[in-house]
Amino acid sequence: DGGITQSPKYLFRKEGQNVTLSCEQNLNHDAMYWYRQDPGQGLRLIYYSQIVNDFQKGDIAEGYSVSREKKESFPLTVTSAQKNPTAFYLCASSDSLNTEAFFGQGTRLTVV
Amino acid sequence: DAKTTQPTSMDCAEGRAANLPCNHSTISGNEYVYWYRQIHSQGPQYIIHGLKNNETNEMASLIITEDRKSSTLILPHATLRDTAVYYCIVRFPYSGGGADGLTFGKGTHLIIQP
């Protein structure tokens, strides 16, 4: 089935370690996005990518990095520079920036 | 800053129509209005979008005022499974470069009461 897959669903890391969250889509979408969601809050945009090898910072990019080497993949690295990394992370894709976005089921990252 | 204003929460009785308002007074002529919803601990789900005409699909109806400064999402016969946070978003169509990411506000928490 076509869709967008995030893995793992739950992730635990020690403070000070970098961690990479996976996002894969087989929808042939050009645009992909990463969001962060904290309890009781809306979604905040971290990074987005319109095409392969291109990405733009969102509202809260500090402490995060991304790559877009393949159309179907948009991994997010949470670095040790991110002061409050514990959150629910959501990945999305769309076939252009004008159409509906499809979301993955999210990765809940806990840093201890 | 989010371009939309929504009430923080709303209640609706099961079986009734749920009407969710959204103000977007600074919307520009070619920005679309999108609605998504998020059930607890899941990824958001697309509901509907429109530019200036009213739209209807199997999930909901979208009513956009003539001046386009506000809109209303209507769930015609709300069920308990419609309890979720509903997000109203405005965005430009794809322009080949320089377009914004998809920006969410805090949304409206809709609670369907049995």
| Per-residue pLDDT tens over the stretch A32-82 | 999 999 987 888 889 999 889 999 999 899 999 999 999 999 999 999 989
Between these two residues, B20 and A100, which has the higher pLDDT value? Answer: B20
Q: What is the mean pLDDT of chain B?
A: 88
Whether residue B7 has a cis bond before it, omega within 30° of 0: no
* Minimum Cα–Cα distance from A89: chain B residue: B43
The pLDDT of residue B96 is: 39
| Calpha distance A46→A51 (Å, rounded) | 16
For β-strands B108-113 and B9-13, DSSP reports them as parallel
Contact A48, A107 (CB under 8 A): no
Between these two residues, B100 and A101, which has the higher pLDDT value? Answer: A101
Smallest Cα distance from B40 to chain A, Å: 10
Contact B31, B90 (CB under 8 A): yes
Q: Does B7 touch chain A (CB under 8 A)?
A: no
| Calpha distance A7→B22 (Å, rounded) | 34
Between these two residues, B99 and A88, which has the higher pLDDT value? Answer: A88
| Calpha distance B91→B24 (Å, rounded) | 11
For the ranges A34-38, A90-94, B88-92, which has the lowest average pLDDT? Answer: B88-92
Residue B57 in tokens:
């699909």
Contacts of A90 in chain B (CB under 8 A): 43-44
Helix (H) or strand (E) holding A33: strand A31-37
pLDDT tens-digit profile of B39-80? 988 899 999 999 998 999 999 999 999 999 999 999 999 999
Partner residue opposite B101 with nearest CB, options A41, A45, A102: A45
Contacts of A35 in chain B (CB under 8 A): 104
Which residues lie closer than 8 Å to A89 by C-beta, 6 or more apart? A6, A21, A34, A35, A36, A37, A76, A78, A106, A107, A108, A109
| Calpha distance B1→B104 (Å, rounded) | 9
Contact B103 A35 (CB under 8 A): no
Sequence-ordered alpha helix ranges (H) in B1-114: none
Contacts of A96 in chain B (CB under 8 A): 94
| Calpha distance A68→A23 (Å, rounded) | 11
Checking if the pLDDT of B12 tops 90, the result is yes
Residue B26 in tokens:
């600074």
Contacts of A103 in chain B (CB under 8 A): 43-45
Smallest Cα distance from B81 to chain A, Å: 17
The pLDDT of residue B8 is: 95
